[in-house]
Amino acid sequence: MRVVVIGASGHIGTYLVPRLVDAGHDVVAVSRGNREPYSPHRAWQRVTTVRADRAAEEADGTFGARIAGLEGDAVIDLICFTEQSARHLATALTGRVRHFLHCGTIWVHGPSTRVPTTEDRPRRPIADYGRQKAAIEAYLLDRAHRDGFPATVIHPGHIVGPGWAPVNPAGNINPAVFQTLADGAELALPHLGMETVHHVHADDVARLFMDALAGPTAATGENIHSVAASALTLRGYAEAVAGWFGQEPRLTYLPWERWRETVSEEDARVTYDHIAHSPHCSMDKALRLLGHRPRHTALDAVAEAVDWLVEAGTITR
């Protein structure tokens, strides 16, 4: 097939585009062209690259028509963040694609209430990002069920891989938390460290997009999680990371209002977003519909990212 990937050089696209090429697809990679993929791959030499400023082209109403003009059999949208943006693109692609795949987020669920959370749980998003993604999901799946628009929505967890800092055991993305554990120093966690985070390797997300593309009958009209097989508590995560560096974990626990005073305002904001959700999602639907199993555990995925941070000198042993 001819596959158009929007946001092709990001976390997921770094792995997805080479997989598409190696599978024999004709790939058109759409991005702003501001950066290279996180990992080099020979497959990029066989990709048609299109530069596009999505925000500017949506503002003048031309983006959807431009994507439709690329004549993809399938379009994979990895960087859509508002319902208005989704409506613009889907309207332009109606009757012109065989499969449309959208990248959502497990943030559509809001705080975990019954775990593992399944895709059919009520939507209770608590921040604008989750609310917008939930609105996109509702719109696309309504279109799929009402008039046959061939949409699939994939909901990743905390995407991780070599090339960027992962969500850490304190629930934010400050690499200094990993350094503290590597040094065997004391690390304070909020509450009792029993809140959860749910990572997924970027390549496992790419693999699920591939499986959905290969199984359109099962995937069309569906929302499907993409996370590791199990979530991590902050405490268990911190203990594992300390062990990677040959250290015994030295953990303390503080009430939220005291803990937030020990970190920057930005770190506190990011941590609160993660622990307020405390995600723990099920992968049963992906297995049932598409035979998909993630290859990386959450710790395996994070370990690759931490190794990269060590190699880059961000964390010292």
Residue 225: which of 147, 115, 69 has the closest Cα?
115
| pLDDT for residue 32 | 87
| pLDDT for residue 227 | 98
| pLDDT for residue 131 | 98
| pLDDT for residue 312 | 96
Residues 109/87, Cβ–Cβ less than 8 Å: no
**Taking the chain (317 residues) in consecutive chunks of 10 residues, what is each chunk's mean pLDDT?**
96 97 98 83 94 95 98 98 98 98 98 97 96 98 98 98 97 98 98 98 98 98 98 98 98 98 98 98 98 98 98 95
| pLDDT for residue 105 | 98
DSSP letters for 289-314: HH----SS-HHHHHHHHHHHHHHTTS
The proportion of the chain whose per-residue pLDDT surpasses 90, expressed as a percent, equals 97
For 200-237, write each residue's pLDDT tens digit.
Answer: 999 999 999 999 999 999 999 999 999 999 999 999 99
| pLDDT for residue 228 | 98
Residues 117/284, Cβ–Cβ less than 8 Å: no
Residues 148/221, Cβ–Cβ less than 8 Å: no
Long-range contacts of 55-61 (CB under 8 A, 24+ apart): 58/85, 58/88, 61/88
Q: What token pair was written down for 15?
A: 């792995």
Q: What token pair was written down for 247?
A: 């250290």
| pLDDT for residue 299 | 98
